[in-house]
Structure 1
């Protein structure tokens, strides 16, 4: 009897211990499962220099997590704080790009990961010492901020492309002078204070460029290539004109003579670009100053617009020679533009510098030497209208000319026409020559450049000026080449890139024919869209070095709201 009682007690204790063990085991197992569900760093984050040396103010963060995660990298430096978020498709093991570093400063980074359930884990702070800017005066421009109104200026950044130049005794220049400029390409982004936060260097001068929503940049080179890069400077895609003088490239070939000035990536994935064609024209001009100068057969370069697939197949083409009169010329036709670029004995007729596909499927092309903006029906190739100085057009095109109302003046040798959010036409008016051959040009020192806006009525083919950057007390400058004007997205200000400004202290000493002998500088200036306009941001690229001084200019300047690595 006593043994039975003891046995039952022993069994009862055993059952209790067994239940307790099962409970403890379940709790441990549950806790282990819960811990496994939390995001964790299997390999801790590491920040390292961008392996692509073409973009030094950038870094790469790598780590490994225990599950798919969304990543946020928060960066701080002094009063600056910014962050980037990467979805789970971005593989951190391969490296997450980080940009926005100000030069020669210590930055702190914190990496946070979030899983599908919303649980978050964060790393210990990392530090990154950004490199200094290049000290060689031939490798980086001198940046000066004259005005920066943080309340009225557009927030974010400005992107432009510094181009270097030394004075030349002739417009064509010698081989060394040309090589100095053409072998250097740069894209540079600064903050409101004018501090560089990103720059990219390459070995061919950059003309037009476009910053895309995905953070990539498409640009045009002096050796007739189109290149798409990401913000680490990695080449995503590139194309080249297969008939170019330089010969073959590793890029995708496109059956055309050149790529120049401007190109856009379209929504359908194709590329719209400016190219050229060369024709031999009989009994053509030999001078733009002397109407009675002897005529002769000439190789003449005209513009060609092309749309091509990512694989390089041309699917649309429009040739200026077929739609505009090649006998209507502008000043600088004989400026040796194409001779300097590999086409001997070829003169420059139309000189397009901007192409844009519009929402109605038409195409807007800007012809600098013709001082005309032309709208083209993409389906038929027909010219819909011409906005520009009205003299000398053929009879067939007279009905296409837009009439400028009031006492406003026409733009001359303009750049970067674009339609604003108000539907108006905004452009940069270089104001060069203010005449067309064979009328006497206005003295160089008595011309100046500006941004200007027109209201167009496309039904009545009339226009009126509604805004200009000109003010009574503004320092007037002559931008001899390039330039841009664009509307900022938040403030609605007008950001103006002044291209290649002739040295204001020397401009009175030269003529249109000798202007290449003096130095150049440039500026990016932001104006309020008011009358009169007010300057709220003003950056200048000043000469560097000496004997001779290196001048800096830009093709254009555009606003960038936020960094997208």
Structure 2
């Protein structure tokens, strides 16, 4: 070999060494190529469109995981790593997969000196949706204006099973979790990125925390705390406590004009912790007037909870939230047609609703005078959206039946309220009537505007006065708050009843908007 050839070889070797090596601090360079040494696919996760993958690298680093399939590609964000990075051992959640699709999982690693290596570590093929999956129709999708994922629940029916479902901005299913038993499955994202919902375990109800793989992380049952039936809402407070309803039974009377005593179910404001402490337990039968009796007083909703005896559903609490601005509780009491704020000691701060002429016990309640708009009736899903401002879903059973999303601002000093906003779907004539369940949320739009997510979870095809029947269905609509233009809409409905049969009722409870499936 000539000296000229030797010089070329030395130069080439030097170039390779310097391209993939690192100075170890003593002036010597060592070639190091990052590699995946071992990959483990964990057992199937409870949520079928997710995967849990563990892999190991020959050096401590923070890898980039890219998932490609179905004409799409995404990078797993930092919140998708269940392992602390950088590390030798890595654990990632793969979320956002679509049914009946094959994906490649690639890992890109950057080693010392910038040496880069990409390896395909796993191929994933998802199954089609189950045969009993709810019939979902995308009526409108505009990803340029509506983003994130919409998370909602579907109750079991004659044609479908019970599921939590998430769809992306195009309306495609990207996450679901089958539910063997459900209570009122209010599901929401927690501060730590996990999901919280009310589960049913035989006769027990439980606050259950799951991760995005569907795995149970924590659970507390009502029976463990010697409480009777968590129901309708499990709200995570800013301090991590949980706020919910429990129930009690009292024999009260005499009720007029029948001059009889009745077994009356009362709603208790119950604040608990994950480790099983009862922080607060206020009795609305002591705070409000048990003799304020509206037409649904006779509803048998809670009979089964008390051995089948006839009970009276006096208040029917269906939403309870904490207002961090003044450390109070806000309750939606459907059978009282009121939303009421109560402080921690049980004092009524204000009542949004109307004095009932047939009773005297509510005469001294601090009712809010509504300066414009209309009061809600038989409402659901009250939420705090700002200081002295709430949003709720107004079923409007006792006020014309035009179901709507509505925002109220409240002046607690003057005891007045103003209706800042309402949305009644203009495409229905007569107006859409949804006599039970439902939700309304403020959500950010992809277009920078503020949107309203309106979830008619028990819509009826019949005009008011409508009822609960076999043809109720789910309609979830997102609108621009200012223009009220629709930007997203999905429907869950029995599309093809068998000949001679009525449609199968398909309904849910609430819907939430998440920025991403990843926490």
Report TM bin, short chain: 0.7 to 0.9
Contact 1:71 1:87 in 2 (8 A): no
Match of 2:84 in 1: 89
Contact 2:42 2:54 in 1 (8 A): no
Deviation at 1:535, TM superposition (A): 1.6
Deviation at 1:189, TM superposition (A): 0.2
Match of 2:59 in 1: 67
Equivalent runs, 1:445-524 vs 2, <5 Å: 447-470=401-424, 472-475=426-429, 476-490=431-445, 491-504=449-462, 515-524=467-476
Match of 2:134 in 1: 141
* Equivalent of 1:353 in 297, 318, 322: 318
Equivalent runs, 1:333-352 vs 2, <5 Å: 333-341=297-305, 343-344=307-308, 345-352=310-317
Equivalent runs, 1:35-434 vs 2, <5 Å: 39-43=34-38, 45=39, 48=41, 51-52=44-45, 54-84=46-76, 85=78, 86=81, 88-89=83-84, 95-113=91-109, 121-124=117-120, 126-135=122-131, 139-152=132-145, 154-165=146-157, 185-207=162-184, 208-222=186-200, 223-242=204-223, 253-284=224-255, 292=257, 294-341=258-305, 343-344=307-308, 345-359=310-324, 360-378=326-344, 380-392=345-357, 394=360, 398=364, 400-406=366-372, 408-421=373-386, 424-434=389-399
How far, CA to CA, are the matches of 1:358 and 1:448 in structure 2?
A: 28
Deviation at 1:516, TM superposition (A): 4.2
How far, CA to CA, are the matches of 2:294 and 2:43 in structure 1?
A: 47
How far, CA to CA, are the matches of 2:282 and 2:112 in structure 1?
A: 51
Deviation at 1:330, TM superposition (A): 2.8
- Residue deviations 1:200-252 (CA, integer Å, cap 9, x gap): 1121124212112433111113442211111111111111111xxxxxxxxxx
Deviation at 1:61, TM superposition (A): 1.6
Deviation at 1:121, TM superposition (A): 4.1
* Structure label with greater radius of gyration: 1
How far, CA to CA, are the matches of 2:275 and 2:408 in structure 1?
A: 39
How far, CA to CA, are the matches of 2:72 and 2:337 in structure 1?
A: 44
Cα 1:450–1:30, aligned 2, differ >3 Å: closer, same or farther?
closer
Contact 1:498 1:523 in 2 (8 A): yes
How far, CA to CA, are the matches of 1:339 and 1:461 in structure 2?
A: 37
Contact 2:83 2:90 in 1 (8 A): no
Deviation at 1:38, TM superposition (A): 5.7
- Residue deviations 1:17-37 (CA, integer Å, cap 9, x gap): xxxxxxxxxx9x988985586
Deviation at 1:79, TM superposition (A): 4.5
Deviation at 1:340, TM superposition (A): 4.6
Deviation at 1:396, TM superposition (A): 6.5
Deviation at 1:277, TM superposition (A): 1.4
5+ long unaligned stretches in structure 1: 1-26, 167-179, 243-252, 286-291, 435-445
Contact 1:161 1:206 in 2 (8 A): no
Q: How many pairs were matched up?
A: 481
SS of the aligned residue for 1:261 comes to strand
- Give the structure with the larger helix fraction: 1
- Residue deviations 1:467-503 (CA, integer Å, cap 9, x gap): 1112555442221211100010343100011121123
How far, CA to CA, are the matches of 2:296 and 2:365 in structure 1?
A: 27
How far, CA to CA, are the matches of 1:35 and 1:562 in structure 2?
A: 41
Cα 1:341–1:461, aligned 2, differ >3 Å: closer, same or farther?
same
SS of the aligned residue for 2:221 comes to strand
5+ long unaligned stretches in structure 2: 1-17
Q: Which moved more, 1:424-433 or 1:77-86?
A: 77-86
What TM-score results when the alignment is normalised by the length of structure 2?
0.84
Using CA pairs below 8 Å that are at least 6 residues apart, which structure has the higher relative contact order?
1
SS of the aligned residue for 2:298 comes to coil
SS of the aligned residue for 2:478 comes to strand
Cα 1:519–1:87, aligned 2, differ >3 Å: closer, same or farther?
closer
How far, CA to CA, are the matches of 1:118 and 1:255 in structure 2?
A: 60
Match of 1:288 in 2: none
Q: RMSD in angstroms over aligned alpha carbons? A: 3.1
Contact 2:49 2:126 in 1 (8 A): yes
- Residue deviations 1:398-424 (CA, integer Å, cap 9, x gap): 351111013x22111111112325853
Cα 1:278–1:527, aligned 2, differ >3 Å: closer, same or farther?
same
SS of the aligned residue for 1:454 comes to strand
- Residue deviations 1:52-74 (CA, integer Å, cap 9, x gap): 3x311111222112333324322
